[in-house]
Amino acid sequence: GAVVSQHPSRVICKSGTSVKIECRSLDFQATTMFWYRQFPKQSLMLMATSNEGSKATYEQGVEKDKFLINHASLTLSTLTVTSAHPEDSSFYICSARDLEGVNEQFFGPGTRLTVL
C-alpha cells in the first residue's frame, strides 16, 4: 500500500524559532499533497493544498507567510512554521494523493509540534 512518512514525529522549540516538517511519499508519486492541523479531540483542519512545482493554495484564514509550503518534487513537500508561537502548538498531518487516487488520501503519521 501507499506509504507517507513525516519527519520529525515530534519537535519542541522555543518561541520565535522556525520549524520545518517534511512529508514524503515513499512508494508513489504524489501529484498533490495536503497539510492539515489538528487540535486535541478535534477534527482535521485543512491548511493548504500543494501541487508539485506550483504555489500552494491556502485555505481561508491560514497565513501563507507564517506557514510556508514547498512541494519541490513528486515525493516531497515541506511545511515551515515561521516564528513559531505557543498557539502554533498542534498536531500537523500531511497527506498525499497520486494521479489515480483522487478519492483517497494517504496520511503521514503526523508531527507533534510544541512551542515553549
Query: Where along the sequence are the contacts to another protein (CB under 8 A)?
Result: 32, 34, 36, 41-46, 49, 93, 95, 102-110
Nearest CA to 114 out of 91, 83, 98 is that of 91
CB 109, min distance to another protein, A: 5
Give the nearer residue to another protein in terms of CB position, either 14 or 100.
Answer: 100
Cβ–Cβ < 8 Å for 105, 96: yes
Q: Tell me the Ramachandran region of residue 20: left when phi exceeds 0, alpha when psi lies from -120 to 50, beta otherwise.
A: beta
CB 104, min distance to another protein, A: 5
CB 83, min distance to another protein, A: 27
